[in-house]
Amino acid sequence: MASFNLTSLLESLPNSTDWEQSLIDLKTVLTSLSPSELRNVTQNLSYHAIFDLLTTDNKEVLELCCNVLEKLLDASGPAVVFQSYREQILKGLSHPQVMVKCLCLKQMLSASEEVIEELLPHKEVLQKTVSLISDDIQVANIATKVLINLGRTPQGLAVLFSNQMIHTLEQVLNTSDTVRFRAYEMLIQVCKLSLAALENTHNSGLLQQLLNEVHKDDILVQLNAIEMLSDLTMVEHGLVYLDQHGIVGKLESMMGELEHNPFGNLLLPGLTKFFGGVARFHPKEVCSSNKTFVNSVFEGLSSGDQTQKSISVQTVGFIGESVEGKMALDKLGNMMIHGVKCIGSMVRDAPSDLHIKALETVCSITKLQIAEQTDELLKLTEKWFNLLSNNPFEMLMSLVRQPFPDLRCSAHCVLQSLALQPWGQTNMNNYPGFTEFLLDRTTEKTKETKESKFLILKTLAESPTAVDVFGQPYIVQVKAMVLQGPFFVQTQSEVAFEGE
């Protein structure tokens, strides 16, 4: 009956004398249908009448149109949308109202994620999407995601860097400083996807424009450019590219001249972040040769500037991810010892965002995969963990009991790092109540925290040293829980007796 009403309401919409009420009726029927029913019904429906109403000046009617269309288009699927409503989508991308442009872009985003081959032939629609980078920020953000998704396939890259698309991008770059850097941000995200994506971006000439920004005299432009390029150092092919084009050398010189630069304090956070990315792949070289960078990182850990403190703690985490990075940090001696104590203070007392970043760094610097576990490195990670506070395991368990899911997940991550190593397992086994806590499924209420706690169990179940520390009976229980998965719920049989 509901499906019949939906068809009837859509057919009568063009002749309605009260569009608002007709759309409210449509919305009510759509809400009453299950997703599977809606998918079945929409196969034989036409939405042209609703698209036609998008020309209205009535804000309430327009909002109802968007709500109804979103439900119908989502039920139809992106393949059907672009086969049947390409002209309407293109027209909607030029609509004066943000809500209509967002409606159309969300359909494009779904297509770019699910059936990109349906989207690629529609060059005019994609060109319009590029131009929307200069629109309202909400519109620009969705448009950017669509374009980044094009960069995930060779066919999408060919379209994204076709002559027409490059021409449109160049027009966008000339709009304003704000819009130009929005476009650069999209290009950097594409570059990070793969070496092929980076090569396509370079061949377009657009990436060179960003590199040129580093050499400009405008301090704000320089800051934004360094920030963008810092992101590119997070992938190795990006770092190689920047080195080959002289950007690493240019920024090394800039870092060395900071104390003589009147804008040195402004440039320092961006340069620190940039060389943190470089040090992620080449920790030994950066930590031994770039003293200005190293000093700025460790001074930043105790800085009153929260931005510099945040960048510094993340940078230590980046460097400390690898074995080579851990050894490079250890060679810094007292500087690293003091730094770890500062990170421990952040774990205890910092505001929430910094709190979590500090825990992520603790996870990085204490984590050692089984294949990496030499006596020397195990002693090093244990030393750093013990430097965090007078009783670091107690501190960690106090965070696991906090009611904030993101904090609990970060604390679970550190426990997982400890669960990989014999000294960490000993800490766990010696802590009163920990073994019971780990087997208690009732401690976690959210999907994220259930999964993050489950990873601790899984790590112990796979560890070759866990049986020696915890004993066979306990590890048998751990392995049984791992087989049950993170969301297992114990069911209890209830038997009713006569007379109850």
Mean pLDDT of 353-376: 95
| pLDDT tens-digit readout, 245-301 | 999 999 988 888 888 888 888 888 889 999 999 998 999 999 988 888 999 999 999
Q: What is the pLDDT of residue 3?
A: 53
DSSP state of 496: P
HEC sequence for 108-158: HHHHHHHCHHHHCCCHHHHHHHHHHHHCCHHHHHHHHHHHHHHCCCHHHHH
Is residue 2's pLDDT more than 80? no
DSSP 175-240: T-HHHHHHHHHHHHHHHHH-HHHHHHHHHHTHHHHHHHHTTSS-HHHHHHHHHHHHHHTTSHHHHH
Contact 211, 169 (CB under 8 A): no
Cα dihedral sign, 165-171-173-178: negative
Please give the Cα distance from 172 to 460 (Å, whole number): 53
DSSP 57-116: --HHHHHHHHHHHHHHHHHH-HHHHHHH-HHHHHHHTT-SSHHHHHHHHHHHHHHHHH-H
Q: What is the pLDDT of residue 500?
A: 44
Confidence band (pLDDT; 50, 70, 90) for 45? confident
Mean pLDDT of 476-492: 86
Mean pLDDT of 54-82: 90
CB atoms within 10 A of CB 123: 12
Is residue 451's pLDDT more than 50? yes
Is residue 493's pLDDT more than 90? no
The dihedrals phi and psi of 134, each to the nearest 5 degrees, come to: -90, 5
Confidence band (pLDDT; 50, 70, 90) for 405? very high
Q: What is the pLDDT of residue 491?
A: 62
Please give the distance of CA 475 from its chain centroid, rounded to a whole number. Answer: 34
Confidence band (pLDDT; 50, 70, 90) for 240? very high
| pLDDT tens-digit readout, 4-28 | 577 777 777 777 778 788 888 888 8
The more confidently predicted of residues 144 and 52 is 144
Please give the Cα distance from 19 to 113 (Å, whole number): 34
Range of lowest pLDDT (42-51, 92-101, 167-176, 390-399): 42-51
Please give the Cα distance from 260 to 255 (Å, whole number): 10
- Is the pTM of the predicted complex or chain greater than 0.75? yes
The rounded radius of gyration (Å) of the Cα atoms in the chain is 28
Burial of 321 (0-12, 13-18, 19+ CB in 10 A): middle
Mean pLDDT of 115-144: 95
Please give the Cα distance from 352 to 345 (Å, whole number): 13
Is residue 412's pLDDT more than 70? yes
| pLDDT tens-digit readout, 154-175 | 999 999 999 999 999 999 999 9
The more confidently predicted of residues 32 and 461 is 461
- Both structure tokens of 266: 């402004």
In this prediction, what percent of the chain has a pLDDT beyond 90?
71
Mean pLDDT of 448-473: 95
Query: In whole numbers, what is the pLDDT of the chain averaged over residues?
Result: 91
Mean pLDDT of 377-398: 96
Q: What is the pLDDT of residue 494?
A: 46
| pLDDT tens-digit readout, 329-352 | 999 999 999 999 999 999 998 787
